[in-house]
């Protein structure tokens, strides 16, 4: 069961490749975070999944082999694009009516209830809403279509921390209620940990890390110890990223089997944010499941 | 969505939805088009009522070919009073289709691409081809209807002039009456939609629409239209003309049938003038001199009776162009845009 699959997908704009030889399977029934630095190809990949962009090479399928942009795919996938575009001159009520007019499975009561809970006035023009309300309206109309898969491209990038928190809260509640699959891109890693259960890290147009969040966090540890012994430790472990300040060294390692902790070193748990940042700082390291990539970890 | 589909099947509610969306998103542009044509219409109503009243008061309706002196005098009065407007009004109106078409057509896709809202509009359950086809056909039909009504009103306003000026003269009523005005309006509309999709900028697309429209319409009116039908050729008395026709060219020829250059004509005029100088009636003698020497005047023209033939040929040509542009726009949105 896959929500989005990419097979050797590439996209070239002029002479630059936004995405290159990208192979990826995003499982369905999960809340998947797609993270990576700006320009990593996240938007390109998501726009391909909703049929707005056609790959230069390779093939993207959605919902177990459906072509993106086909009637089935359009009907079952809702998309909240970057900066949550809506028509600024339409009222909230007219925005609902517009989406309803284009939908087959529109749930008016659901949309009304959601907006009422947020105290968003139906008569107000979308252009006059605050950034947070604007994003909430975009989310509400997407959810009221009862999609099987909801794709969001940097939905909170421009929101203040409070609005960001509220938006993620609304998204989590909807996931809990409706059990839909979610694919969410973001470069704001801190918000993802409480929402997402599957992580894909995209870097320079290729997949660097893909896996269950718990598995990933569980299989990585932080080793701290004397900076002078860093080379010896690096030789013994799968090092993702090593960092030393003064005499103290801190190394994120990947543990696939029980390993003895070197004398004078301490082992600590890591978290999603630390893990993502370490991989982004070490673009040549990767952690990929199954046959996709051999289990390798290259020291940066 | 809330309207029952009934026996006509499932497409009815969807079309209702797109109809509403088209109206909601483009009503401002349509109001603009109505305002432009409405402004001219109000003027034509007020001016036309006075003009029609004078036309009947002067008795011009029963003048036929204006052969009597009374009719000539009445015609002179009427022309003095109203002809400047009749000559001027078609000039701005000839360009109205370009403005209206660009104003309504260019934003349809350009504004979505420019503001990023295509990512919202084209990822709904209704695909972007249906979305585009609905907007093009609905707005195109509304514009065509508005333009036809306006052309009919212009036809009423211009009616007194038909026996005097004719309707077929290029650059005059011909550009506003009949079906050519409406066909050029939808042509500009479809052109605006396609250029908007390709250029992705509303204002740039509007300007490009005006430029291309002028580049197509003016040369075709000047170089192609005279060839829709082979023109009539007629011999005229000196100084005569074919009333209410579209005169393409006129010339003088000698007895052998050779056309004379204007330098040759000037030389002949001097010769005839010298010969007529001492005659009892110099004017008649002057004209008589040309007849005696076998010189004749000719005109090549399109008679007014061909008005509808010309209108239909030209209207269908623009309509075919419009359909091709519409198909290209849909293809572009499906394949290339976004």
pLDDT tens per residue, range B262-311: 898 889 889 888 888 888 888 888 888 888 888 998 999 999 999 999 99
Tell me how close the Cα of B13 comes to any Cα of chain A, in angstroms: 8
Flag whether B295 is in a domain.
Answer: yes
Interface of B with A (CB under 8 A): 1, 14, 16-18, 20-21, 24-25, 115-120, 122-127, 131, 338
3-state secondary structure of B126: coil
B247 three-state secondary structure: strand
pLDDT reading at A290 higher than 50: no
Question: What integer pLDDT is reported at residue B13 of this predicted model?
Answer: 46
Q: How confident is the model at residue A289 (pLDDT cuts 50, 70, 90)?
A: low
Please name the residue of chain B whose CA is at the shortest distance from the CA of residue A80.
B120
Q: Give the pLDDT confidence score for residue A261 in this predicted structure.
A: 84
In a domain, B129, yes or no: yes
Evaluate whether residue B5 is within a structural domain.
no
Contact (CB<8Å) A85/B25? no
Helix/strand/coil (H/E/C) assignment for every residue in chain A: CEEEEEEEEEEEECCEEEEEEEEEEEECCCEEEEECCCCCCHHHHHHHHCCCCCCCEEEEEECCCECCCCHHHHHHEEEECCCCCCCCCCEHHHHHHHHHHHCCCCCHHHHHHHHHHCCCCCCCEHHHCCHHHHHHHHHHHHHCCCCCEEEEECCCCCCCHHHHHHHHHHHHHHHHHHCCEEEEEECCCCCCCCCCCEEEEEECCEEEEEEEHHHHHHCEEEEEEEHHHHHHHHHHCEEEEEEEECCEEEEEEECCCCCCCCCCCEEEECCHHHHHHHHHHCCCCCECCHHHCCCCCCCC
Based on the fold, state whether residues B75 and B35 are members of the same structural domain: yes
Cβ-based neighbours of B305, under 8 Å, separated by 6 or more? none
Residues in chain A closer than 8 A to B21 (CB atoms):
98, 101-102
Closest CB to A101: pick one of B17, B115, B118. B17
The pTM assigned to this predicted structure is 0.89
Round to whole Å and give the CA distance between B204 and B198. 11
Sequence-distant contacts of A241-244: CB under 8 A, at least 24 apart = A241/A278, A241/A279, A241/A281, A241/A282, A241/A285, A241/A300, A242/A299, A242/A300, A243/A281
> Is residue A77 within 8 angstroms of chain B, CB to CB?
yes
DSSP B298: E
Nearest-angstrom CA–CA distance, A198 and A65: 20
Cβ-in-10-Å burial (0-12, 13-18, 19+) of B163 comes to middle
Cβ–Cβ < 8 Å for A127, A98: no
B108 CB neighbours in chain A (<8 A) are: none
Q: Among all chains, which residue has been given the structure tokens 């289990």?
A: A295
Structure tokens at A197: 């259960």
Residue B116 is predicted with a pLDDT of 94
Nearest CA to CA, how far is B12 from chain A (Å)?
11
- CA nearest to A200, candidates A62, A73, A31, A50: A31
Q: Which of B16, B25, B120 lies nearest to residue A85, judging by beta carbons?
A: B120
Chain B CA closest to residue A51: B123
d(CA B248, CA B232): 10
Residue of A278, A296, A293, A284 whose CA lies nearest to A237: A296
Nearest CA in chain A to B10: A104
Q: Hey, is the C-beta of A86 within 8 angstroms of any chain B C-beta? A: yes
Instruction: Tell whether B161 and B177 lie within a shared domain.
Output: yes
Rounded to 5°, the CA angle B251-B255-B261 comes to 35
The pLDDT mean for chain A works out to 88
Minimum Cα–Cα distance from B338: chain A residue: A52
* Record: contact A101-B118, CB cut-off 8 A: no
Question: Does some domain include residue B327?
Answer: yes
Contact (CB<8Å) A85/B117: yes
Do both B275 and B328 map to the same domain? no
Do both B88 and B170 map to the same domain? yes
Lowest-pLDDT choice from A31-35, A290-294, B10-14, B25-29? A290-294
Q: Which residues of B touch A82 (CB under 8 A)?
A: 116, 119
Contact A103, A145 (CB under 8 A): yes
List pLDDT tens digits, range A40-96.
889 999 999 999 999 999 999 999 999 999 999 999 999 999 999 999 999 999 999
pLDDT score at B2: 42
The Cα B193–Cα B20 span in angstroms is 19
Write the ipTM: 0.89
Put residue B170 in one of left, alpha, beta given phi > 0 → left and psi -120 to 50 → alpha: beta
Tokens coding A212: 């269950």
pLDDT digits (tens, 9 = 90+) for A179-212: 899 999 987 787 788 889 999 998 888 888 999 9
DSSP of B34-45:
HHHHHHHHHHHH
Residue with tokens 């305002």: B35
Burial of A112 per CB tally in 10 Å (0-12, 13-18, 19+): middle
DSSP string over B59-108: TGGG-TTT-SHHHHHHHHHHHHHHHHHHHHTHHHHHHHHHHHHHHHHTHH
- From the list A94, A101, A138, the residue facing B1 with the nearest CB is A101
As given in the structure block, the two tokens for residue B185 are 């309006």
- Angle at alpha carbon of residue A165, lines to A159 and A166, rounded to 5°: 90
Q: Give the integer Cα–Cα distance in Å for B103 and B211.
A: 13
Say yes or no: A281 contacts chain B, CB-CB below 8 A: no
Distance CA B113, CA B111 (A): 5
Contacts of A44 in chain B (CB under 8 A): none
Interchain pair A85, B116: CB under 8 A: yes
Number of domains in chain B: 2
Same domain flag for B196 and B251? no
Which are the contacts of B249, defined by CB distance < 8 A and separation ≥ 6?
Answer: B299, B300
Which residue in A79, A101, A125, A154 has the most chain B C-beta atoms within 10 A of its own C-beta, making it the best mutation to test that interface?
Answer: A101
**Average pLDDT, rounded, for chain B:** 91
Which residue did the predictor score with more confidence, A295 or B123? B123
Report the 10 Å Cβ neighbour count for B274.
Answer: 11
B284 lies in a domain? yes
Residues B217 and B256 in one domain: no
Same domain membership, residue B117 and residue B100: yes
Residue A9 Cα distances to A12, A65, A78, A110, B284, angstroms: 10, 15, 22, 37, 91
Q: Is A100 on the interface with B (CB under 8 A)?
A: yes
Q: Are residues B142 and B252 in the same domain?
A: no
Confidence (pLDDT) at A288: 73
Pairing state of beta strands A181-186 and A149-153? parallel
B8 located within any domain? no
Which residues of A fall within a CB distance of 8 Å from B24?
Answer: 90, 94, 98
Q: What tokens does A43 get?
A: 């938007």
Note whether A90 contacts B: Cβ–Cβ < 8 A. yes
Q: Does A71 touch chain B (CB under 8 A)?
A: yes
Q: Which residues of B touch A51 (CB under 8 A)?
A: 122-123
Q: What is the predicted pLDDT for the residue at A294?
A: 38
Same structural domain, B74 and B163: yes
**N- to C-terminal Cα distance for chain B?**
28
- Chain B residues within 8 A of A62 when measuring between CB atoms: none
> Quick check: A98 and B24 CB within 8 A?
yes
A75 neighbourhood in chain B, CB within 8 Å: 125
Containing domain of residue B242, as a range?
232-302
Distance from CA of B98 to the nearest CA of A (A): 26
Which residues is A57 bridged to in the sheet?
Answer: A10
Q: Residue B230: exposed, middle, or buried by beta-carbon count in 10 A (0-12, 13-18, 19+)?
A: exposed
How far is C-alpha B173 from the geometric centre of its chain's CA atoms? 7
Of A82, A94, A103, the CB nearest to B125: A103
Tell me whether residue B280 is in a domain: yes
For A3-29, write each residue's pLDDT tens digit: 999 999 999 988 988 888 899 999 999
B155 and B247 inside one domain: no
- Asked if the structure places residue B145 within a domain, the reply is yes
A85/B16 touch (CB, cutoff 8 Å), yes or no: no
Contacts of B21 (CB under 8 A, 6+ apart): A98, A101, A102, B134
Q: Do A82 and B24 touch (CB under 8 A)?
A: no
Distance of alpha carbon A221 from alpha carbon A16, whole angstroms: 36
Collapsing DSSP to helix, strand or coil, B56 comes out as: helix
Positions of chain B with pLDDT lower than 50, given as ranges = 1-15
Phi, psi of A3 (to 5 degrees): -80, -45
Do B82 and B220 fall within a single domain?
A: yes
Residue B181 sits in the same domain as residue B274 = no
| Number of inter-chain CB pairs under 8 A, A vs B | 75
């Amino acid at each position: 069961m896959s929500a989005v699959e990419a097979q050797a997908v590439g996209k070239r704009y002029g002479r630059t490749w936004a995405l290159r030889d990208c192979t990826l399977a995003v499982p369905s029934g999960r809340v998947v975070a797609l993270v990576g630095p700006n320009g990593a190809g996240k938007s390109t990949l998501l726009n391909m999944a909703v049929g707005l962009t056609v790959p230069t090479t390779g093939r993207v399928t959605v919902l177990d082999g459906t072509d993106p942009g086909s009637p089935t795919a359009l009907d079952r996938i809702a998309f909240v694009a970057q900066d949550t575009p809506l028509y600024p001159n339409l009222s909230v009520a007219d925005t609902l009516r517009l989406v309803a007019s284009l939908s087959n499975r529109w749930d008016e009561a659901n949309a009304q209830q959601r907006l009422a809970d947020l105290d968003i006035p139906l008569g107000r023009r979308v252009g006059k809403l605050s950034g947070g309300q604007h994003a909430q309206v975009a989310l509400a109309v997407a959810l009221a279509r009862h999609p099987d898969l909801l794709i969001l491209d940097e939905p909170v990038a421009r929101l203040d921390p409070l609005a960001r928190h509220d938006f993620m809260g609304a998204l989590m509640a909807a996931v809990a209620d409706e059990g839909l699959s979610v694919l969410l891109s973001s470069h704001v890693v801190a918000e993802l940990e409480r929402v997402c259960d599957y992580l894909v890290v995209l870097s320079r147009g290729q997949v660097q890390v893909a896996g269950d969040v718990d598995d990933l966090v569980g299989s990585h540890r932080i080793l701290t110890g004397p900076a002078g012994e860093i080379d010896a430790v690096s030789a013994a472990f799968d090092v993702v990223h090593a960092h030393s300040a003064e005499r103290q060294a801190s190394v994120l390692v990947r543990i696939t089997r029980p390993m003895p902790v070197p004398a004078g070193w301490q082992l600590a748990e890591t978290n999603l944010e630390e893990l993502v940042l370490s991989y982004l700082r070490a673009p040549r390291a990767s952690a990929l499941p199954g046959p996709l990539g051999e289990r390798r970890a290259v020291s940066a | 969505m809330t309207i029952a589909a009934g026996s006509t099947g499932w497409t009815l509610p969807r079309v209702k939805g797109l109809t509403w969306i088209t109206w909601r998103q483009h009503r401002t542009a349509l109001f603009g088009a109505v305002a432009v044509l409405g402004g001219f219409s109000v003027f034509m109503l007020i001016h036309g009522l006075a003009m029609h009243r004078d036309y009947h008061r002067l008795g011009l309706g029963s003048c036929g070919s204006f052969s009597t002196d009374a009719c000539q005098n009445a015609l002179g009065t009427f022309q003095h009073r109203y002809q400047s407007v009749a000559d001027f009004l078609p000039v701005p109106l000839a360009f109205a289709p370009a403005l209206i078409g660009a104003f309504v057509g260019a934003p349809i896709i350009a504004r979505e691409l420019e503001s990023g809202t295509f990512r919202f509009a084209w990822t709904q359950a209704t695909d972007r081809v249906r979305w585009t086809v609905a907007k093009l056909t609905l707005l195109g039909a509304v514009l065509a209807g508005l333009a036809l009504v306006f052309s009919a009103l212009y036809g009423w306003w211009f009616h007194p002039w038909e026996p005097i000026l004719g309707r077929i003269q290029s650059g005059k009523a011909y550009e506003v009456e009949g079906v050519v005005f409406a066909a050029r309006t939808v042509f500009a509309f479809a052109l605006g939609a396609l250029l908007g999709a390709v250029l992705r900028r509303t204002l740039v697309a509007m300007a490009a629409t005006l430029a291309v429209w002028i580049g197509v319409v003016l040369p075709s009116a000047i170089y192609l239209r005279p060839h829709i039908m082979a023109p009539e050729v007629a011999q005229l008395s000196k100084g005569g003309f074919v009333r209410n026709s579209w005169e393409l060219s006129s010339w003088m020829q000698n007895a052998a049938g050779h056309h004379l250059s204007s330098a040759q004509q000037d030389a002949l005029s001097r010769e005839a003038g010298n010969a007529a100088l001492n005659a009892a009636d110099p004017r008649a003698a002057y004209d008589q001199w040309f007849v005696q020497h076998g010189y004749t005047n000719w005109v090549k023209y399109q008679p007014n009776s061909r008005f509808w033939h010309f209108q239909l040929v030209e209207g269908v040509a623009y309509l075919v162009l419009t359909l091709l542009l519409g198909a290209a726009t849909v293809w572009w949105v499906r394949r290339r845009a976004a």
